[in-house]
Amino acid sequence: MFTLTTSKRRTAGFAALTCAGALLLTACGEGSPSGGEEEASAEAQGELTPVEVGVIPIGDVASIYVGQREGIFEEHGLDLTLTQAQGGAAIVPGVQSGDLDFGYSNVTSLVVARDRGLPIKIVATGPQTTGSELEDFAAVMVNPDSGIESITDLEGKTVAVNTLNNIFDSVISEGMEQEGGDADSINFVEVAFPDMVPQLEAGNVDAITAVDPFAVIGDEAGLERIFGPFSQPVEDLSIGGYFATEGLIESDPDLVEAFAAAMKESQQFSEENPEIVREVIAEYTTSSPETLEKTTIPLFPQEHHRESLQQIIDISDRIGLIDEPIAIEDLLNDGA
């Protein structure tokens, strides 16, 4: 079902583990021939540089798949392989160990990792909220007969997140605090995105945090959206980014620059071609055409929204996810 290729810094063990653990997948990414001018010459000589990137099988990472399908990474001299995992918190160790060259993660997981002394930096930004509250690509969802109607009704309740100590913990806690509720009373538990709706329907959790296409699947199952975690507590939130270790940034700046440039081009192309984004999401999930038609496409900016990142740092500090605030310059590489 999955295809592994060889990369100069990765191990087959990590790729096999993350691919086997990701549900609703059709394949780990493979590149297709393309290119232009200098890069085309390099490709003809077999000189494309292999890179492996850890991603999550959700709509957030659609732009990198678009860039792969459109040959953008090959045009920048890169032979891209995408390896999937459950969440950013699982990808960070893979990048830190060198099993992965780059990884995608939500910003909170990166802030927490940096606070714990891991030398990683965002080299290219990822998706940004549409700012449309309950019509964004992420939602807190509940069963219609739960009696939960707002964020404050989650006091004392069990809420499923894809990985603990990530962006959902922080923005839901912030939303609760903004409405005068007790964020410390929420019991967050870890559930993979594909398992969210079944766990809620089974009554094992009181609410779930779903992103598209899984939020749309929740809509189709009759669940109710009560809170927009990406759009409501923090304005213009940059949800995640693609990161590397400082060691790679210093030892191979040309590689990092090529990857960042390819990501920026992929982000811009995705922003301008939402229907292609929908097509590509269908290639790395098993979402139906009907589900994809209802899927909300994120914004795909070329630069990270620094003000929202500062707010995430402040929130992470306030709710105790980190020991002390970190500087944005310590987390964002130049131009990210």
pLDDT tens readout for residues 264-310: 999 999 999 999 999 999 998 878 888 888 989 999 999 999 999 99
Please choose, from the candidates 328, 265, 318, the residue with its C-alpha nearest in 3D space to the C-alpha of residue 114: 328
Task: Give the CA dihedral 300, 301, 303, 309, nearest 10 degrees.
Answer: -70
The answer to whether residue 35 scores a pLDDT higher than 60 is no
Q: Are 86 and 22 in contact (CB under 8 A)?
A: yes
pLDDT of residue 287: 81
Tens-place pLDDT, residues 183-203: 999 999 999 999 999 999 999
Query: DSSP character for 238?
Result: B
Q: Please state the pTM of the whole predicted model.
A: 0.81
Structural domains in the chain plus CATH codes: 12-128+238-330 (3.40.190.10), 133-227 (3.40.190.10)
Amino acid letter, residue 9: R
3-state helix, strand, coil in the chain (%, to 5): 45, 15, 40
Collapsing DSSP states into helix, strand and coil, what is residue 251? helix
pLDDT of residue 43: 44
Round to whole Å and give the CA distance between 194 and 196: 6
Q: What is the mean pLDDT of residues 250-275?
A: 97
How does residue 81 score in pLDDT terms, banded at 50, 70 and 90?
very high
Amino acid letter, residue 81: T
pLDDT of residue 98: 93
Query: DSSP character for 96?
Result: H
138 by Cβ neighbours in 10 Å (0-12 / 13-18 / 19+) ranks as buried
Please choose, from the candidates 253, 259, 318, 311, the residue with its C-alpha nearest in 3D space to the C-alpha of residue 67: 259
The answer to whether residue 161 scores a pLDDT higher than 80 is yes
Beta-carbon count within 10 A of 47 CB: 11
The residue behind tokens 């992470």 is 316
The answer to whether residue 24 scores a pLDDT higher than 80 is no
The residue behind tokens 């003809």 is 44
